[in-house]
């Protein structure tokens, strides 16, 4: 890169002293002398070097180089995070291979900051990692070394605060530009208990779709939440949760009126917070709802819970004991392996899990392993001179597996992290109601196929087979489990959604998604799920009214914003450059495709080749929205048939934005609602791992700052301003007030982890 000569029309931009973005490892920034535009010249490959030599650069903005960052990530693998658990593994990673290109204006401080971003922020490592002997040695031996004193705990704390302050400021700026007063945010709330430490954590994450139809998801906060008994004497837990959530929203400049909906688990306090104390609609996490339904019908906990299907629970517990015996006994393992070779011409084609956990995918796996390896398990007991305890339950195990597996599949679908799956959840629940849980229809008995390993004989493996069995022909265990599961799911979901004769003020967000999908916009599915046509008519009207009311509200918001801009004499605010977001594999190219498609659509609309709707007509927004909805229901699009992914639907609305201007805004709001809070549970799991005694007991506020940066690593600015140790703009002043616990109401929420002085090295070990 040192040999690169900028063309006469451009000038080289020197690398700032504290810049730590990986783009500086692969190229340089340029500035157009005449137009003032910024660009990035990449030298990461032969193709990139040739393009840069010919004057073909990547356009970037002065404030951020997101396009360049996306390029070096996707084309050259820069910034790939590594899951690091132990300090020794981290020390091995610290010996980094030298970059193929020399950095411009590199220095110790920027390299130390890059080390912190890579190992502490991206890998959620302890703040004391840099003080271990292995890491110190590896830093001294690395190709681009810096003094180990740069990554002492106190220095790491200071850099974490600096990164947090810079990232939070950029985040607030981006949110103010992208949201622009529109109620389009979907909150994901979760109150989670770490099983190893029994500590509670509260997590806040939100989703939205931006103006270029990209789904964005940001983690706002993960806080240890352990109110003392004294704190709970005067206030309910939901009220404390409300104070915490509003403190988080206030820090990031987000008004509660911008919340359109919230998705939460089954906890009563979180439910009350979302349904009563927060504005907007509320949806129950589909994964938690199905898990509770299964626990009621086929409980597997040994505790005091009383499941509806006691006989089904006994069968599952018998399976649990059998697989535990096979797994724990060395003699049984040998017999089991030999028996598998005889029966399937393969060894260990399925793992027999240790136990049937509460996670229903694990229960399904245990039942599936039992069905697949039934002969091997029977052989273990026969070799030891015993009768298999599972032999009397052959049909019962088959039926329970056939009931639980479809439900667990819906749970797995809703746990996807890339796109919210509200439509897929509605359709999956409908399929369960009409087939698996329908006592008037036969039950499909599933026989899982043996998965052949390499070298297995011909004919091993195959497809999963199904055999229809009438409800009256099921065993007593199967009939009761089916009826209990259907009843549990009905009162939790179907009765609340589709068995009502009055309009509801909350919920139905997922049904609004169905009403805006061109293949289900006619809402005919409601007639199949509602008990009577009268109930179906009320629900359809309720869904339609919600869509039209939201369209009118968004139209008023846009008119209000235009009026403010006209008074100020300013054009519409420019959108901030889009940062890479979870769920968007190639946001840079997706954005480029969108602008190209939008330009083409605008040209076609101007020529009258495609239908458009004029928002400036004399009709009211409600009338125009109703007309657009009728047109949508009469339209058909075979290309989207069966595609219920958020990505597919957003791409469709992106193309049809000119044809349905009012409904397109509604689609942007509605389709961002997540079907589950499982993404949030992963955030909370990271918090639990950072606070365990096997790692380090970290100060709660630094753990939360690290987790915020970890969840939004793509928002890290290229330039991190250096902060003085003290003073008006010192490090302490940049720690948000809610993290320093100045509010008496929040002071006791951290339990044993109270506020810790940044300058006192002995008060915390994080």
Instruction: Note the pLDDT tens digit of each residue in 176-224.
Output: 888 877 888 998 888 877 766 677 788 888 899 988 888 888 888 887 7
pLDDT over 70, % of the chain: 72
Is pLDDT larger for residue 737 or for residue 529? 529
Return the pLDDT at 366: 79
Instruction: Note the pLDDT tens digit of each residue in 318-351.
Output: 888 888 777 777 777 776 676 666 655 444 444 4
The rounded distance, in Å, linking the Cα atoms of 58 and 529 is 52
Residues 6+ apart with CB under 8 A from 388: 322, 377, 378, 380, 381, 382
The rounded distance, in Å, linking the Cα atoms of 411 and 80 is 29
| Residue 391 backbone dihedrals phi, psi, to 5 degrees | -60, -40
Residues 6+ apart with CB under 8 A from 124: 686, 689, 690, 706, 707, 710
The rounded distance, in Å, linking the Cα atoms of 511 and 534 is 18
| Residue 445 backbone dihedrals phi, psi, to 5 degrees | -80, 120
The rounded distance, in Å, linking the Cα atoms of 86 and 68 is 32
Residue 307, classed as helix, strand or coil, is coil
Instruction: Note the pLDDT tens digit of each residue in 361-410.
Output: 777 877 888 888 888 888 888 888 888 899 999 999 999 999 999 998 88
Band of residue 14 on the pLDDT scale cut at 50, 70, 90:
confident
| Residue 142 backbone dihedrals phi, psi, to 5 degrees | -70, 160
Instruction: Note the pLDDT tens digit of each residue in 588-637.
Output: 333 444 444 555 555 555 545 445 555 555 678 899 999 999 999 887 66
Separation in Å, CA 272 to CA 185, 226, 267, 289, 495: 19, 18, 9, 16, 20
Pairing of strands 38-42, 58-60: antiparallel
Return the pLDDT at 300: 55
Is pLDDT larger for residue 182 or for residue 766? 182
Q: What is the DSSP string of 425-449?
A: HHHHHHHIIIIIT-TTS-EEEEEPP
If residue 40 lies in a helix (H) or strand (E), which one and from where to where?
strand 38-42
Residue 430: burial class (beta carbons within 10 Å; 0-12, 13-18, 19+) = middle
The rounded distance, in Å, linking the Cα atoms of 305 and 293 is 13
First to last CA, the chain: 40
Return the pLDDT at 751: 43
Tokens of 468: 């229809």
Q: Which pTM was predicted?
A: 0.71
8-state DSSP, 122: T
């Amino acid at each position: 890169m040192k040999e690169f000569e900028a063309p006469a029309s451009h000038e080289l931009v020197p690398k700032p002293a504290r810049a730590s973005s990986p783009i500086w490892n692969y190229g340089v920034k340029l500035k157009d002398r005449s137009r003032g535009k910024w660009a990035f010249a990449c030298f990461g490959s032969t193709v990139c070097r040739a393009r840069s030599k010919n004057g073909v650069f990547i356009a970037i903005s002065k404030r951020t180089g997101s396009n360049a960052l996306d390029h070096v990530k996707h084309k050259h693998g820069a910034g790939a995070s590594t899951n690091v658990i132990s300090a020794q593994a981290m020390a091995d990673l610290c010996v980094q291979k030298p970059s193929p290109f020399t950095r411009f204006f590199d220095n110790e401080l920027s390299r130390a900051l890059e080390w912190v971003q890579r190992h502490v922020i991206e890998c959620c490592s302890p703040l004391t990692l840099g003080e271990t002997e292995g890491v110190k040695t590896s830093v001294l031996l690395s190709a681009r070394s810096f003094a180990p004193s740069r990554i002492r705990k106190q220095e790491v704390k200071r850099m974490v605060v600096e990164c947090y302050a810079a990232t939070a400021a950029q985040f607030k700026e981006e949110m103010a530009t992208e949201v622009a007063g529109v109620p389009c945010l979907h909150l994901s709330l979760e109150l989670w208990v770490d099983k190893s430490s029994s500590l509670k954590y509260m997590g806040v994450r939100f989703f939205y779709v931006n103006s270029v139809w990209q789904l964005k998801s940001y983690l706002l906060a993960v806080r240890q939440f352990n109110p003392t008994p004294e704190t709970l004497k005067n206030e309910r837990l939901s009220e404390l949760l409300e104070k915490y959530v509003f403190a988080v929203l206030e820090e990031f400049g987000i008004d509660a009126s911008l919340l359109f909906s919230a998705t939460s688990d089954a906890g009563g306090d979180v439910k009350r917070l979302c349904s009563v104390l927060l504005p907007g609609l509320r949806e129950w996490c589909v994964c938690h709802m199905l898990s509770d339904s299964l626990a009621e019908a086929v409980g597997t906990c040994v505790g005091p819970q009383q499941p509806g299907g006691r006989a089904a629970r006994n069968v599952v517990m018998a399976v649990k004991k059998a697989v535990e015996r096979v797994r724990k006994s060395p003699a049984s393992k040998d017999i089991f392996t030999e028996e598998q070779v005889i029966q399937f011409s393969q060894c260990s084609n399925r793992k027999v899990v240790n136990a049937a956990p509460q996670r229903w995918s694990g229960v399904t796996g245990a039942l599936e392993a039992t069905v697949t390896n039934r002969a091997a398990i029977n052989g273990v007991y026969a070799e030891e001179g015993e009768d298999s305890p599972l032999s009397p339950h052959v049909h019962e195990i088959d039926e329970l597996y056939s009931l639980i597996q479809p439900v667990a599949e819906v749970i797995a679908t809703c746990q996807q992290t890339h796109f919210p799956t509200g439509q897929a959840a509605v359709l999956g629940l409908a399929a369960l109601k009409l087939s698996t849980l329908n006592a008037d229809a036969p039950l499909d008995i599933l026989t899982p196929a043996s998965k052949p390993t390499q070298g297995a004989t011909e004919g091993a493996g195959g497809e999963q087979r199904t055999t229809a069995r009438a409800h009256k022909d099921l065993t007593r265990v199967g009939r009761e489990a089916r009826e209990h599961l259907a009843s549990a799911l009905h009162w939790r979901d179907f009765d609340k959604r589709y068995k009502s004769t009055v309009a509801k003020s909350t919920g139905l967000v997922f049904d609004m998604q169905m009403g805006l999908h061109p293949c289900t916009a006619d809402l005919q599915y409601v007639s199949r799920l509602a008990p009577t046509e009268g109930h179906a008519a009320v629900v359809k009207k309720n869904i339609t009214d919600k869509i039209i009311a939201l369209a009118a509200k968004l139209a008023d918001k846009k008119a209000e914003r235009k009026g403010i801009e006209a008074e100020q004499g300013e054009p519409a605010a420019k959108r901030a450059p889009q940062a890479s977001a979870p769920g968007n594999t190639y946001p840079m190219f997706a954005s480029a495709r969108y602008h190209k498609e939008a330009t083409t659509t605008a040209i076609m609309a101007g020529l009258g080749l495609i239908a458009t709707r004029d928002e400036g007509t004399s009709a009211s927004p409600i009338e125009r929205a109703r007309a657009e909805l009728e047109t949508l229901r009469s339209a058909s699009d075979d290309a989207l048939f069966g595609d219920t992914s958020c990505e597919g639907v957003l791409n469709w609305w992106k193309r049809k934005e000119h044809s349905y201007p009012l409904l397109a805004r509604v689609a942007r709001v509605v389709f961002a609602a997540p079907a589950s809070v499982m993404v949030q549970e992963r955030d909370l799991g990271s918090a639990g791992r950072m606070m365990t005694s096997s790692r380090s007991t970290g100060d709660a506020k630094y753990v939360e700052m690290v987790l915020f940066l970890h969840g939004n690593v793509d928002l890290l600015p290229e330039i991190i301003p250096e902060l003085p140790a003290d003073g008006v703009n010192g490090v302490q002043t940049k720690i948000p007030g809610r993290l320093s616990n100045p509010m008496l109401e929040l002071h006791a929420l951290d339990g044993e982890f109270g506020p810790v002085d940044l300058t006192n090295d002995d008060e915390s070990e994080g």
